[in-house]
Amino acid sequence: NAGVTQTPKFQVLKTGQSMTLQCAQDMNHEYMSWYRQDPGMGLRLIHYSVGAGITDQGEVPNGYNVSRSTTEDFPLRLLSAAPSQTSVYFCASRIFGTSVTDTQYFGPGTRLTVL
Amino acid sequence: TQLLEQSPQFLSIQEGENLTVYCNSSSVFSSLQWYRQEPGEGPVLLVTVVTGGEVKKLKRLTFQFGDARKDSSLHITAAQPGDTGLYLCACRVSNDYKLSFGAGTTVTVRA
């Protein structure tokens, strides 16, 4: 199993450009989510999905779109990049169930810089 | 305002010393998890605690969940350079499947 994979590893954008961060998992997990990590602020939830065709907003969704057409893939789209979106982005997945002990698996991250 | 407050923010110690990291909140949790993140990588789950007063050990790491399920601590005995990393706590509140994270404690163990 590859687990959770993310591409690209690094990206530099100019203000106003758009791009898609890719995320895929091969563990057949229903629940997938996107976080951004900024110094001193921990991981903040951007969007999440509990299954194909179902998405919802997290704590900091503005400026980002998501879709979930398959169980495996959960891309994150930046519509018009802004310097405030400079961050490290992590995708995560886990089984969607009622157990509070379910393990959440993270990808290696995408480091994004917006100039 | 973050749901979870972690302290200290930074910790630098010599190899062989002990350290404790804290995770506190005013809310009651159904579970609390501890993750370790190494530079350039994603967080990796270390442990989940569920029951108030629960203590779990993972080699030299001891995790404790407060009796009221509002706080937790991570204690490392005889720290080694391999323990260096960002330690994050995360919680799930009742009836919510989303995880909320603290800001983390950066631990540096000097050889």
Tell me the shortest Cα–Cα distance from B11 to chain A, in angstroms.
14
- For A2-33, write each residue's pLDDT tens digit: 899 999 999 999 999 999 999 999 999 999 99
Tokens for B29, please give them. Answer: 């949790």
- For B41-82, write each residue's pLDDT tens digit: 999 999 999 889 999 999 999 999 999 989 999 999 999 999
Q: What is the pLDDT of residue B28?
A: 86
Q: What is the pLDDT of residue B95?
A: 64
A contacts of B6 (beta carbons < 8 Å): 42
Question: Which of B10, B24, B46, B99 to substitute to test the interface with A, most A CBs within 10 Å?
Answer: B99
Neighbours of A89 (CB within 10 A): 22
User: Residue A104 gets which letter from DSSP?
Assistant: P
Flag whether residue A58 sits within 8 Å of chain B, measured between CB atoms: yes
The alpha helices in A1-75, defined as continuous H runs, are none
What is the Rg, in whole angstroms, of the alpha carbon atoms belonging to chain B? 13
Residue of B nearest to A40 (CA): B103
**Closest C-alpha among A3, A87, A96 to residue A49:** A96
Distance of alpha carbon A100 from alpha carbon A72, whole angstroms: 22
Cβ-nearest to A43 among B45, B97, B101: B101
Q: What is the pLDDT of residue B57?
A: 96
Q: What is the pLDDT of residue B1?
A: 60
Q: What is the pLDDT of residue A100?
A: 66
**Closest C-alpha among A61, A62, A63, A38 to residue A48:** A61
Contact: B48, A92; criterion CB under 8 Å: no
Flag whether residue A41 sits within 8 Å of chain B, measured between CB atoms: yes
Q: Note whether A95 and A102 are within 8 A (CB).
A: yes
Tell me the shortest Cα–Cα distance from B59 to chain A, in angstroms.
19
Residues 6+ apart with CB under 8 A from A98: none
Please state the separation of Cα B59 from the chain's center in Å: 15
- For A34-87, write each residue's pLDDT tens digit: 999 998 888 999 999 999 999 999 999 999 999 999 999 999 999 999 999 999
